[in-house]
Amino acid sequence: MSETIRTLSFDEVVDRLLRLKVPYHQNYLAMYSSWYGGIITDPALMMVPIDDHLVHRGDGIFEAFKCLNGNLYMLDRHLDRMEQSIKAPALSLPLSRETLVQTILETVRRAGAPDCLVRLFVSRGPGGFSTSPYECPSSQLYIVVTALHMPRPEKYEEGVTLLTSSIPTKSEYFAKIKSCNYLPNVLMKKEAEDAGVDFTVSLDAFGHLAEGSTENVGIVSRTGEFLVPKFHRILRGTTISRLMELVAPLVASGDLTRVEETDITPEQAYDAAEIMMFGTTFDVLPVVRYDDHVIGDGRPGPCFRKFLALMHEDMRSGRDVLTPVGR
Ligand SMILES: Cc1ncc(COP(=O)(O)O)c(C=O)c1O
């Protein structure tokens, strides 16, 4: 055995990495790494040191936001949430918010794609392999820009399916931090794929609707109330939060009777006129089946169409977008 496993030289490793070709790398467009001190565009080199506590302890937080037609949408909201996430684990951002924004814009510009997804990680940093955060001299920042894959048009036209998750929810304290401890979220996604549904939704300790793996859920009752689960037990999504603002005028116009954060039971959701999922990548999707129940008339409803149109209009309006220079 000792004969067959060689000790590789630095050059041999670099050479192997540069020759490594895997199909999914074509989606990886650019990465900024504070550890490397710059931006790289070769996917084979997009790596994080294994002694960064992000890797072996999940000691880090992340954010994900998108760039559409060259415009970063709701960047400020995402960075506000990132600042909230780093508070509880007492992580520090290794650069000012202003420099961070410039670094994001430059990484997106180098990615060279008008539509892309940006993931930002603030890690505890390299420093050893224990759980102690104090062995890490400095936090690191990694920004990864990948191709944006939207759901197929049928998902918007025909709707998506939802199942109640059997994975226990995170406690209130951890659910509100967008940390890199996403094992429950991973298992919810696996659960959905294994069951052949689009999404699963967890229930909190009181049996109320909580959230999806990486998305929020909301319902429109038969009396026109737009109801969303209370945010003190789940991650406050930027998409659903923006939509709650955008749809507020629909109460005045009579399209909705109220917009509210409240406890929602699965039975209330089964009986809803509409159920929707909300998330950064896809914006809004209509749920037409939840567990064994057909929702509404089994077709995407009128509120879904209005909500999606409002989001698209918001993105086009340029109210909450930032454009990388040099496009
Ligand atoms: C657990 C969880 N809930 C909800 C969301 C939706 O948030 P947003 O609308 O900001 O994408 C996410 C996003 O990744 C998430 O991870």
Put residue 267 in one of left, alpha, beta given phi > 0 → left and psi -120 to 50 → alpha: alpha
DSSP state of 171: P
**Residue nearest atom 4 of ligand 1, based on CA coordinates:** 215
Distance between CA atoms of residues 12 and 18, nearest Å: 10
| Structure-block tokens of residue 282 | 């896809």
- Ligand 1: which of 214, 240, 311 to mutate, most ligand atoms within 8 Å of CB? 214
Distance between CA atoms of residues 118 and 169, nearest Å: 26
**Residue nearest atom 5 of ligand 1, based on CA coordinates:** 215
Residue 134 Cα to ligand 1 midpoint, Å, equals 29
**Residue nearest atom 2 of ligand 1, based on CA coordinates:** 214
pLDDT recorded at residue 1: 56
Euclidean distance between the first and final Cα of the chain, in Å? Answer: 54
For 188, counting Cβ atoms within 10 Å of its Cβ (0-12 exposed, 13-18 middle, 19+ buried), the class is buried
Place of tokens 């929702």: 295
| Ligand 1 atom at minimum distance from 211 CA | 3
For 83, counting Cβ atoms within 10 Å of its Cβ (0-12 exposed, 13-18 middle, 19+ buried), the class is middle
Query: Which protein residues are within 6 Å of ligand 1, measured from CB?
Result: 64, 185, 211, 214-216, 235, 237-240, 278-280
Write down all domains in the chain, each with its CATH number in brackets.
10-147 (3.30.470.10), 153-317 (3.20.10.10)
Q: Which amino acid is at 271?
A: D
3-class state of residue 31 by DSSP: strand
Q: What is the pTM of this model?
A: 0.95
pLDDT recorded at residue 177: 96
List Cβ<8 Å contacts ≥24 apart for 23-26: 26/147
Distance between CA atoms of residues 19 and 4, nearest Å: 21
Handedness of CA 182, 145, 324, 72 (dihedral sign): negative
| pLDDT by 10-residue block (mean), the chain, 327 residues | 86 93 96 98 96 98 96 96 95 95 97 97 98 97 98 98 96 95 97 98 96 98 98 96 96 96 98 98 98 98 98 88 60
Distance between CA atoms of residues 128 and 137, nearest Å: 10
**Residue nearest atom 14 of ligand 1, based on CA coordinates:** 214
Q: Output phi, psi for 115, to 5 deg.
A: -115, 120
Residue 281 Cα to ligand 1 midpoint, Å, equals 10
Residue 240 Cα to ligand 1 midpoint, Å, equals 9
Distance between CA atoms of residues 164 and 204, nearest Å: 11
**Greatest C-alpha distance within the chain:** 77
Place of tokens 């467009």: 29
Active-site entry in 178, 189, 190, 230: 178
**CA-angle at 190, arms to 189 and 195, nearest 5°:** 100
Catalytic (active site) residue 170: no
- Ligand 1: which of 211, 213, 245, 311 to mutate, most ligand atoms within 8 Å of CB? 211
Distance between CA atoms of residues 51 and 43, nearest Å: 20
3-class state of residue 299 by DSSP: coil
pLDDT recorded at residue 326: 47
Residue 237 Cα to ligand 1 midpoint, Å, equals 5
- Please report, for residues 5, 55, 56, 185, 237, the alpha-carbon distance to residue 181 in angstroms, rounded to integers and kept in the order given: 33, 10, 11, 9, 17
**Residue nearest atom 7 of ligand 1, based on CA coordinates:** 237
Distance between CA atoms of residues 65 and 284, nearest Å: 15
Distance between CA atoms of residues 111 and 146, nearest Å: 8
